[in-house]
Chains A and B, each alone.
Chain A
């Protein structure tokens, strides 16, 4: 059983561009969480999704950020018009019910 997959592992964008981060949960997992880790910080919750539903987006910035988890395909975290402050590691976790299993992360660098 493959683990949580995230791609790309590294993403470089210029200010104003869009970033799309993908997360494929473990087989059989229907819960997906996105977290962001800024340098020297712990992981901060962004959004919790189940298939086709956003359950909790209390950690998402109000503008430019969106997330989806469609019926088919990976979960997508989308950041529009990126700014330098968006540079961080973005981790996805999936869960069957309780424990969360994390992917390797996507490191976003905004130039």
Chain B
């Protein structure tokens, strides 16, 4: 039973354009959501998070949107850069200091 789903295994965008990565969840107890970026042979690196009391959080080029009624969140990266090419994982938890449930990841490729 996959509680966090990333339905797009891969996404390819042009440099300078917007990248939109999507994530759906099924467990209504989740109230804290995170995005991690992962390069091959490295551990995940925290990007941005959002609490369920908010519907948007922005940090530089990265914005996360949360739609609780749809149990859907998305990560927007604008403008996209070649260095953003990596696997992006969506994760969720009950509370901010608790085990994370991860999606399977989306491989983002930003073409120069």
Q: Which residues of B contact A105 (CB under 8 A)?
A: 41-43
Per-position 1/0 for A77-108, Cβ under 8 A of B: 00000000000000101010111111111000
A66 to B16, CA, bound (A): 47
Interface residues of B in 20-64 (CB under 8 A from A): 34, 36, 41-46, 49
B41 A100 Cβ-Cβ under 8 A: no
Q: Quick one: which of A35, A42, A43 has the most chain B CB within 10 A?
A: A42
A102 B44 Cβ-Cβ under 8 A: yes
Cβ-closest chain B residue relative to A100 = B100
* Interface residue? A48 (CB, 8 A): yes
A106 to B66, CA, bound (A): 33
Q: How far is the CB of A111 from chain B (nearest CB, A)?
A: 20
A40-B104, A42-B89, A42-B104 known; A56-B99 Cβ under 8 A: yes
A-B contact count (CB 8 A): 58
Q: Which residues of B contact A59 (CB under 8 A)?
A: 99
A104 B97 Cβ-Cβ under 8 A: no
Q: Which residues of B contact A100 (CB under 8 A)?
A: 46, 100
A42 B4 Cβ-Cβ under 8 A: yes
Interface of B toward A, CB cutoff 8 Å: 4, 6, 34, 36, 41-46, 49, 89, 91, 96-105
Interface of A toward B, CB cutoff 8 Å: 4, 6, 31, 33, 35, 40-45, 48, 56, 58-59, 91, 93, 95, 97-105
